[in-house]
Structure 1
């Protein structure tokens, strides 16, 4: 995308805020530039307030405002109640040709031709008189929902107009239309219709500019209800202004995008000479529901140039769009897009670079519900600085009452121009050319890289060798490199007074500006002119359309008298000690002096004035002191005792460095100090390209043979054979005493070396059999340690092969190296900075040496694995491992374990590692379990415990823990907490973990509380909530839950929906169960229970006798092995006695009940008194106690004889094959009931037969 570079930046400040006058005015619902309506040379503004009640309810109004002083030029109002006049406003151009711009205003629900047919009026900017009125044809058309200048569509030299009629029904209900009128006489020029019902064609209208290049303005119309892509995806249509032909159709991308809710001509954003387009889709979901977007489209081709998305959910970015003019001065028109629901509904308006689509600036509303950005527009150039200004409407602003509304202008201002006027005096330090200038280039700034751009500085009338440019501050120009704060951001050439800087990819916008602001200028002439005009040119070097910008800085120049001369010096020093001398003496190039002035003096050392007479630390570490009288000391002590002596045969028997000094009034000279080496220990011997014969002698030496067939002897001490300078791989065997390939075409004879440093290529290094250190370098190296405790360093780069051999070896692994170690060859260690490493066979230890997050895995041995300062993940695998996390948040990972894991960070151990052993855990914060049933415990810190698969138990133990169960049924266990716990599976948190922190619960199904007062809450699935010894409150919520309050004090248990189980262990536990909330069971451990309401079943789990009283439901009450007493209560109950002697208690006397033996110890007992005991089933019950205290043994209940018998008392039909006959008239009337057995139906008599019994 083209965007011309420039010097300087354009920013925006708040101009004037215009407020609605009264409550509910909706001022700012529409805004626009009105053009120059009063012909004062300053563009004016128009703002709509469609709910203004100035003439009556919702008449509506539009205020035309002076751009020069903010005064109201015209106040225009609707003609009737509910006109909503001002809903849309626009500058109309000079339609009446009087030299004053005019305006057009829509009243979309006015009633000229039926209710809400709508109208639009054109007003004279000069007088406010009505020039044209356009009305809707039918009720409900809503003409005027949108209005705009159409540009000159018919070529008559006058601007024309376009009006939206989005609910016209030409092609179905609310298909919509857009009407184009002549600005001269108001005649209808074009009618464009929506194609299908509910398309809402005409919701937005605008001039598109000349997109087809025919010299006449074209048009764009939005239809947000269009369903071509998907329901309400929306569309926008572009029509030829000259012919009315359809030029383009653009469709929304997804259902509900509302694409076309706003449209505008975008100006020329891509520099191709054609007008481009912008379309808003305020309900697009690209970055969240209703985040919104705006699409910028080429007018020449119809291709999408780019799309810009809203900031987040609900922003409705794209509710309004407009061309903004060239706001940043890059030669391309820019855009403004409103997002009225952005920033918690305060709203925003974003300025977008037309060249790149990047954000230039964002304006935001003042308060929530301002709806700032509901309308946006260019305000043209209000402040006359050559850059367009902007206006944004906030129709819900409450400054003067609810929905009074406001509109605010934003004014451009230029800063950071190339406008400095520096002055330079001869011999002074360089002066900054311009310390606050900025380069701006849309493409480079959007990419945040000025790669490929060039900055050229040279005198206007041609490069001059007297012009010297340099860097200052963070900018360094050295050795052809441009560095900012040490970062290389480009290259430079400086030839003959022309400095050319070429930026690379590291040249960010900030760094490129830092370069321009940090360039200093020196004029080296002894007779300079009065000034030097330095032209600064930045070129983008675009291969298709290169563009550049130039500016001139004029430097005022002042000449001074020439200074004395100083000459360069060369001095030498011994390897150890202090060198003294004078820089004024003739040290090879002549003596310093001022032949026509006073005695000379040193004024600066190494460029620093304050360094004269003071110790200066040299790059080598030597301490230099240069005094004002020229005397100096160079104290190098023992810094150079690694220099080999003259008998070593080495090429590096000397060292040189330089310093500078400057006379108080004279030039700068350079002193070269050369230190001469001596024989001794700790020498570094460097060879030549020939056949060298070097001997390290005594001490720990480094020997570098270079090319040629060298004879190299390390001598005594621990010596290193160095091939770092070789140009190809080397082959060295210390055991054989040969380097068969020195990497430079030679073969060396080597002796008395303990260590080898290889080349940057593929090396083969073989040790001697003693303890050796082999360092491979950057290539794919093979290092063989043989015997001894060797150190093998593969080096960075290609993968290496490291073989330690016998002894306790150390492997330093940086590349993807292979470590080869055989069994029983010592205890070996890998040290690596790779972020992931798995120990190979037969290596016992792994130590991470990097700073990032590390993943380390062991093997089948007893491993020691250590992390470092990052977030490490350590996995020992099989064996008894030691896992040491180090600094950072580290994790022991058992995800590959073959069985369940038991691990505790507090105990520092995995007592069961899932692979048949146990581990020691040191410095670890997190645990990851296996795919089986794990028990993972944290410590007092913040831990993350991950259960993975299986039924896991996670114990956080203090700190803000994350307990993540993973698959399976998992439990968060707070049994060891020091205080009461509050935990909710619904909220997925333990807001109080009982140890002073709060935990996050992920995929947890069950909770175990503390020994204190807990609040445990389940979720919608079945949970097990276990309270512990305190006074606990358990809430099961939905699902089949098990609530166990625990022993100790009484608890409160809330089951919720689902078939719940209540485990009652503490006397006084209270059950709260809602009616119809499932079939629930109380499992009771103590010996007396009055069953709570709405609970159906009881199971006694204790020892000894049990007394239970049911409720009004049909209960199933089950006792234990002792003497149990059951009171069923209301409902048809089942009483299960179990072992021991059990008694059922009835509410009436024996005569009020009937019994039926069901066999197998089962008895039915029927209460003839309605609404009392109902029909109960007794299983394994030995006796029945009636209300009068009578106890009847069930075994003693009489059976009827085989003859006529009175039925005054209870009768039991035994479970054998019997025949009974009776006369019905002899049956008491109470037995002759329609429902004889209490189970429904008309039975006639109340006897129950069993087996093959017959009743007659």
Structure 2
């Protein structure tokens, strides 16, 4: 098993710093331990430009990334999908929830907030530049469901955050404002009755009450105000938590599972609100657009039978460049389990609510949707769609995160460009978790086609002899074709090994192909670095730690 960069949260804060369719710009596979559900839709956050390339980057929380139960938080380059840093945690739920929080470290770059979980419930702030720890914030023990950045509420020059904990107090739930380092906030809202589940979902919205502070939508899908489990959505002041407006579900449908700000529909100059009720109408789902000022219903959008339309909602930004912000809607069908043909996500125009783009998939595709910022540098915002329960040959254990490029002139035809996914297991008795993409890298050009190529570490791959072996694969950057495979440790037996880093070395052996190195402190005792031929995959040199 993997040698983790373990974090002894109970005793220290010493942390290691360490496709595409057009619409689709980037395809990011990730794995999860079979039987554990990835925390959609809040395990992926667009954090802004961390690496200075002018494109938005992504923070991905992976709460279970090994059979040992440890999780991790990964910062991924938004333009290439390449991992910039990864912080591992010994706690089972580390990384289950992440949020972009703005600049807490004072270095001018956005930072990331993540839940630790396990025996020490706390929030851990990580520096966006390198993943170094900034602050540890204890929280009340509970399964954390929602976490969002809300801007500078206390006006101290440092952004603040809000967390929702629907399991507190017998599932009554609670929402708490969290001050950035050096700040002071003491706002807490509590659910009125057990089962209300206040704080299941959170979303900041533009300032609606004129106090200069962004306001907040809060979901309580278990309330029984009008109908049993009809659910409620509260619009609250971001400054002090005062309730500005409340919407109740008229029928059982769990209103409050999802919501988002939308472009002004009633002409009063204020953003309006989309409310999701995915269980409405025998799980067809409904999205209701309401006025933020008057509370009146402005439009309703209904889903196909059993699609759970509106399970995920997000403000997508101006994806068609018409000057109005568009709405992302996820319809994953079943929330987990076997593939659902109805799984989809669509984009609705902020101008007239017409659907101008739709993408489909399996594995509960559409369980999460989110704005990604401009990841491909074309001047158009992009968006994320998650399929947290991806299946391969009927086996669970995979998840696929896709980034789609915004469509400047709708409608745009969606064409697949490049997809790398785990292999299907050769045997149905083999645990399908390969940890495909545990580490990834780029080498200038090893295959001779004039394009950069991709390096992928597969920690547990089933070889022809039936053994599970760690390996490094070189894929063509042009078409994804497998060029060669380098086993980490030759021989027999089950040996799963993890690479910590790759490096592009240029042409070391003079054959015209770019060569590369990989290494890790857990490959052998004392650590190991191997230099490989980019042309053949043969080992050129091996360096062992003392």
Normalization by structure 1: what TM-score?
A: 0.29
Alignment partner, residue 66 of structure 1: 77
1:1119-1167: CA deviations, max 9, x gaps? xxxxxxxxxxxxxxxxxxxxxxxxxxxxxxxxxxxxxxxxxxxxxxxxx
Question: Which among 77, 89, 96 is matched to residue 78 of structure 1?
Answer: 89
Asked whether 1:111 is paired with 2:119, we answer yes
CA contact (8 A) 1:270 1:332 kept: no
Asked whether 1:383 is paired with 2:376, we answer yes
Q: What CA distance in whole angstroms lies between the structure 1 residues aligned with 2:278 and 2:233?
A: 14
Asked whether 1:277 is paired with 2:264, we answer no
In structure 2, the CA distance between the partners of 1:190 and 1:339, relative to structure 1 (3 Å rule), is: same
CA contact (8 A) 2:383 2:403 kept: yes
Q: What CA distance in whole angstroms lies between the structure 2 residues aligned with 1:267 and 1:60?
A: 37
Alignment partner, residue 18 of structure 1: 28
Q: What CA distance in whole angstroms lies between the structure 2 residues aligned with 1:184 and 1:308?
A: 42
Alignment partner, residue 134 of structure 1: 137
Alignment partner, residue 348 of structure 2: 352
Alignment partner, residue 201 of structure 1: 198
2:256 partner SS:
strand
In structure 2, the CA distance between the partners of 1:132 and 1:269, relative to structure 1 (3 Å rule), is: farther
Question: Which among 299, 303, 324 is matched to residue 332 of structure 1?
Answer: 324
What does residue range 37-436 of structure 1 map to in structure 2 within 5 Å?
A: 37-53=50-66, 56-57=68-69, 59-80=70-91, 83-107=92-116, 110-112=118-120, 118-138=121-141, 141-142=142-143, 144-169=144-169, 173-185=170-182, 187-255=184-252, 257-266=253-262, 268=264, 272-285=268-281, 289-312=282-305, 314-341=306-333, 344-345=340-341, 347-365=343-361, 367=362, 370-398=363-391, 402-415=396-409
In structure 2, the CA distance between the partners of 1:28 and 1:181, relative to structure 1 (3 Å rule), is: closer
CA contact (8 A) 2:26 2:80 kept: no
1:404 partner SS:
strand
- Tell me how far 1:269 sits from its aligned partner: 5.7
What does residue range 957-996 of structure 1 map to in structure 2 within 5 Å?
A: none
In structure 2, the CA distance between the partners of 1:266 and 1:121, relative to structure 1 (3 Å rule), is: farther
1:1157-1184: CA deviations, max 9, x gaps? xxxxxxxxxxxxxxxxxxxxxxxxxxxx
1:278-298: CA deviations, max 9, x gaps? 32211111xxx1111222333
2:367 partner SS:
strand
1:134-182: CA deviations, max 9, x gaps? 33324xx32x21111112322334321011111111xxx2110011111
1:861-885: CA deviations, max 9, x gaps? xxxxxxxxxxxxxxxxxxxxxxxxx
In structure 2, the CA distance between the partners of 1:159 and 1:398, relative to structure 1 (3 Å rule), is: same
- Aligned-pair RMSD on alpha carbons? 2.6
Structure 2 portions without partners, runs of 5+: 1-20, 412-546
CA contact (8 A) 2:159 2:180 kept: yes
CA contact (8 A) 1:208 1:238 kept: no
- Tell me how far 1:60 sits from its aligned partner: 2.5
- Greater C-alpha Rg: 1
2:168 partner SS:
coil
What is the number of equivalent residue pairs in this alignment? Answer: 383
Q: What CA distance in whole angstroms lies between the structure 2 residues aligned with 1:98 and 1:132?
A: 15
Normalization by structure 2: what TM-score?
A: 0.65
1:101-150: CA deviations, max 9, x gaps? 1122235x5332xxxxx433222101212223333324xx32x2111111
1:659-709: CA deviations, max 9, x gaps? xxxxxxxxxxxxxxxxxxxxxxxxxxxxxxxxxxxxxxxxxxxxxxxxxxx
Q: What CA distance in whole angstroms lies between the structure 1 residues aligned with 2:259 and 2:97?
A: 13
- Tell me how far 1:26 sits from its aligned partner: 5.2
- Tell me how far 1:66 sits from its aligned partner: 0.4
1:1094-1117: CA deviations, max 9, x gaps? xxxxxxxxxxxxxxxxxxxxxxxx
1:260 partner SS:
coil
1:729-764: CA deviations, max 9, x gaps? xxxxxxxxxxxxxxxxxxxxxxxxxxxxxxxxxxxx
- Tell me how far 1:306 sits from its aligned partner: 1.9
2:250 partner SS:
coil
- Tell me how far 1:14 sits from its aligned partner: 1.6
CA contact (8 A) 1:162 1:206 kept: no
CA contact (8 A) 2:321 2:408 kept: no
Structure 1 portions without partners, runs of 5+: 1-10, 113-117, 418-1256
In structure 2, the CA distance between the partners of 1:292 and 1:110, relative to structure 1 (3 Å rule), is: farther
Q: What CA distance in whole angstroms lies between the structure 2 residues aligned with 1:31 and 1:349?
A: 16
